[in-house]
Amino acid sequence: MKKLYNLIINPEKVIRAEELITLKGGYDGGCWCVCIAGETTYSISSPDRDCGPLCYWVYGTTSGYCMD
């Protein structure tokens, strides 16, 4: 086990890249929202492909689009 300050990482429980790829979509029909706030972009997972309200709620901007 590796220790990073008070955080202990168990390598047996670390998720593999293949598992991350299968989890990428989250819920059926979801997408990754790219939220644009000025010159900065943020991304967040959206279960229902409705990026406007989600970007506003999390980042305070209504500019966003789905990235599949």
| pLDDT confidence of residue 27 | 47
Q: Is 44 contained in some domain?
A: yes
Residues (pLDDT < 50) of the chain are: 27
Q: Is 47 contained in some domain?
A: yes
Q: Is 68 contained in some domain?
A: yes
Query: Three-state SS across the chain?
Result: CEEECCEEECHHHCCCHHHHHHHCCCCCCCEEEEEEECCEEEEEEECCCCHHHHHHHHHCCCCEEEEC
| pLDDT confidence of residue 28 | 56
Q: Number of folded domains in the chain?
A: 1
Q: Is 41 contained in some domain?
A: yes
Q: Is 39 contained in some domain?
A: yes
pTM: 0.49
How far is CA 12 from its chain centroid? 23
| pLDDT confidence of residue 18 | 67
**Tokens representing 52?**
């406007």
Tell me which residue range forms the domain holding 50. Answer: 27-68
Q: What is the average pLDDT score of the chain?
A: 76
| pLDDT confidence of residue 1 | 57
Q: Is 42 contained in some domain?
A: yes
Q: Is 51 contained in some domain?
A: yes
Q: Is 50 contained in some domain?
A: yes
